[in-house]
Amino acid sequence: MSVIPLLAILVQTLTGGTVDALKAPAGTRAIVYLFTSTDCPISNRYAPEIHRIEQAFGHKGVLFRLVYPSRYESDAAIRDHLRSFDFGAVQAVRDSELSLVKFVGATITPEAAVVVDGRVVYRGRIDDRYVDLAVERPAPTTHDLADALAAVLAGQSVPRPVTQAVGCYISDLTR
C-alpha cells in the first residue's frame, strides 16, 4: 500500500494549530484514522462501535484519531459532534486539504485506515453491518477493523488489507 512520505502530512487541530498526522508518541504500535463527518448518519451510528474498539485497543499502543475531511465543517460543529457522541478520549483533526485522505485512499465516511511505521496496512469498513446505503444487518458478521488491529498487535499480516466501506462520500474529493 502506501509508504511513509518524505514530507509530513499536516492536518489541523481544533485549537488552530497543525500536527503531522503520521507522528505518534513513542510506544505507539499503530495509528487508526477514522474518517467521519458531522452529518453522515452511518458515521454517527458507528460511534458506539468506535468507542468499543478504542477501549479494546487504545491501551495496547494503538492511537485513534477522528478525521474530519471537509473544508466546510466548522470547528464549532466538530466540537458539538464530539460532545454529542462522547468522543472525548479520541483526538480529532481536520483534513481540509485532504492530504491524509489521499495518502490512505479514503473515499467514504465512516472509513478506517490503520498505519504502522508509515505504511497503510488496512483501509476500509469498521465492520460489515452495512451491506449498502439502505441495507443494514441486525448485527455485523465480520469485525474488519478489530481483526486488522488484532493481527497488527500479534505481528501478523492483516488478512484482508482492503475492504469496501459503506457510507457518505467525502464530498470534497469530487471537486
Rounded-to-integer distance, Cα 85 and Cα 114, Å: 22
Q: What secondary structure, in 3-state letters, does 68-106 show?
A: ECCCCCCHHHHHHHHHHCCCCCCEEEECCCCHHHHHHCC
Structure confidence by residue, pLDDT tens digits, 90-136: 889 999 999 999 999 999 999 999 999 999 999 999 999 999 888 88
What's the pLDDT band for 42 if we cut at 50, 70, 90?
Answer: very high
Helices (H), the chain: 41-45, 47-57, 75-84, 99-104, 144-153
Q: What is the mean pLDDT of residues 71-83?
A: 91
Inter-residue contact 112 to 125 (CB < 8 Å)? yes
Structure confidence by residue, pLDDT tens digits, 11-38: 999 888 999 999 999 999 999 999 999 9
Q: What is the mean pLDDT of residues 148-173?
A: 94
Percentage above 70 pLDDT, the chain: 94
Cell numbers describing residue 159: 488478512
